[in-house]
Structures are given as C-alpha cells and as structure tokens.
Structure 1
Amino acid sequence: MDKTNIDKTIIYKNNIVAQVTAQLQEELSLALVAADNAHKAATDDQSVAETQYDTLAIEQSYLAEGQSRRVDEIRYAIKCLATLPLEASLTSEKVVMGSLVQMEQDLAKQQWFFIAPAAGGYRCQVTTGQTLANITVITPQSPMGAALLNKVVDDDVIVAVGTKKICDYIVAIK
C-alpha cells in the first residue's frame, strides 16, 4: 500500500471512529439521564413498600443498576475507540483490530466491516473518493469478527448464523 493510500485509509478509519464515537456520546447523554431518573425513582418516598407484595422500589433499583451498567459500557466503548491503534492495522496483511474488511458478497453494496474492541453493531458511512461506503462495526466476540480475525485476502470465511451457514471470502483488507 503506497503512502497516499495509507493516508486516505487513516482518514477513513479516523472518520469511522469519530462518527461511532459521536453516536456513543449521544447514547451516553441519554443513558445518564435515564440512570439518574431511575435512581431518583428508586429512592423516592413514593417507592417505599406499603406491603410485603409491593415491589416497586426493588424493581426501580434493578432498573437503576441496569442503567448504570449501560453508562459504564458506553464509556468503556468510547475509551476503547479512542485508544484503538489504527496505524498498526495498516502494516498487517491479516485482519487485526482496526482493520476494514470487505467480503465478496458485499462488493456491490459497498459494505465493509470495521473490527473494533467495542461498539459492535454501530453503523456509519464514509465517502471513499466518489463512492459511499457503508461501515458496520463488529467485535472479535461476534461470530463474524471471530471468523475474520487473522484471515488474509482470498481466505474463505464460514459463519454459522442460527441454522444457516454463510460462506464467503475476503476481497479487501485496509
């Protein structure tokens, strides 16, 4: 990969990280409000149990705990993306953390997978020249992420999804 393509790929990857981080920041703001509201509801005087069967306070505390965990997960994902070494993926011919990977079946749709340590399932779009690329973030813990790691161009990839098997091969790694 020549210097110009390396620079463009870094810009694309930085753009992906910035877009996904912005989505996570929005979600974090909402989750913080939800966690605060759930905590207030759990400790409100109206939530005090009036009988042994009144479980409103317990339910509210479970909700508050879940919302707090979600806040922690989002903060963790933001931190992971911020510290993702994108340059390291450019020197590897294998699929590694930070790689952009395209499968043969996704060529026409300009669909790419971005391997990241967190934020799996988030999507964004990046303009590559005159083409709009659709990016889906996947983690190594996902079936597709696990199947792609350490593969090279032209390697077959087989992923079991429920009772189906998806068979494809890698056409590009950036």
Structure 2
Amino acid sequence: MNKKEILAKVISEVEQLFAQALTAAQQAHNAAIDDQSVAETQYDTLAIEAAYLAEGQSRRITQLKEQLHILSKQSSDAKQQITIGALFTLEYDNESTSGSSVSKHFYLLPCAAGTCITLTNKEFLDGQKVYVLTPESPLGKVLVGLSIDDDFSVAIGANVQSGFVSAVY
C-alpha cells in the first residue's frame, strides 16, 4: 500500500462523514419545519432547537466539503522531513514496559485530524493503524520539520510524551 492508497482511505472516511452530515442536516431541517414543531406556548422551544441543530449541521457540511477539496489536491510524494503530506512512524518511550518503545504511525495532512485508518497490505504496515495529524495540533506543531532519528517531547495536558522519529515516507 502506498501513500496514494492511504490518502484515498482518508478521503473515503471524510466522504462517509460528509454523507452522514447530509442525512443529519436533512433530518434537522425537516424537524425544524415540521408542523409538530410549531410552538404552542412561549416555553415550547422545539422548533428553535431544531433550527439551531440544522444550522450546525450545515456548517459541518461546509467544513467537510472544504476538507474534501483540500485532500483531493494533496500530493503523495516521498518526504525526507515531516511536512504536510508526510507519512511517518514515531517510537514513543514507554517506561511502563521496562523501557521498550511503542511505535505509532501518522499522516500529516492539512485537515481531517483524528481520522484513523487500518492498513490492509501485507507488504506495508499490515494491520497497523495510521492516525491523521494536522500541523495545528500540539503534536503536529512539535513534529513539523523533524527528520529520521530526531527526538521530540510534547506536553499534552498533564502528560509529557517523548520519543523519536523512526521513519518518514
């Protein structure tokens, strides 16, 4: 599996979110204009709540459209440093397992943060999860510009995570 296939999986995940958001927006819109939603007293706020929900869903649809547009233009060229479009592996220090490290795989993209895909290619990271990061995330800010064997340390909440970059694709 190459980076183009991984990017295609990320786009597919965002497309699924987009389809779900469209359905939710239509349902919220229908609820807002339904005859049953008409206020019967000054305390009856069902129609107002449904309208707020429809507006929020519309904003979510706009965000997802923008993400799909950005991702469709994303390059999958090989990288030497962690920059947008880099697929990379981090080795985390793990004191709880007698000093052994834990590997995690990430894809730095301009959007779709939090998306997680499981790879299904026998030749490349089979069965491994790849997490999408953005440069705006706390971890992304620290990692941008690093290369293989560079160390990192980042405070996320009360936890400090440290390790090194073991591979950049």
Give the aligned length.
161
Distance 1:82 1:93, change over 3 A: same
Q: Mapping of 1:113-128 within 5 angstroms?
A: 113-126=106-119, 127=121
More helix by share: 1
Could you tell me whether the CA contact under 8 Å between 2:92 and 2:103 is conserved in 1? no
Alignment check: 8 A CA contact 1:112 1:135 kept: yes
Moved over 4 A (4+): 106-110
Percent of aligned positions with the same letter in both sequences?
37
Correspondence 1:95-110 to 2 at 5 A: 95-105=82-92
Extract unaligned runs of 5+ from structure 2. Answer: 94-99
Match of 2:51 in 1: 61
- 1:139 corresponds to: 134
Cα RMSD for the two superposed structures: 2.0
2:164 corresponds to which residue?
169
**TM-score, normalising length from structure 1?**
0.84
Distance 1:76 1:36, change over 3 A: same
For structure 1, list consecutive stretches of 5 or more residues without a partner in the other structure.
Answer: 1-10
Write the letter of the residue equivalent to 2:108: I
Using the alignment, how far apart are the partners of 1:144 and 1:41 within structure 2? 40
Measure, in 1, the Cα distance between the counterparts of 2:21 and 2:14: 10
Partners of 1:108 and 1:82 lie apart in 2 by 35
Rate the CA distance shift 1:169–1:131 in 2: closer, same or farther, 3 A.
closer
1:52 aligns with 2:47: no
Distance in 1 (CA, whole Å) between partners of 2:16 and 2:25 is: 14
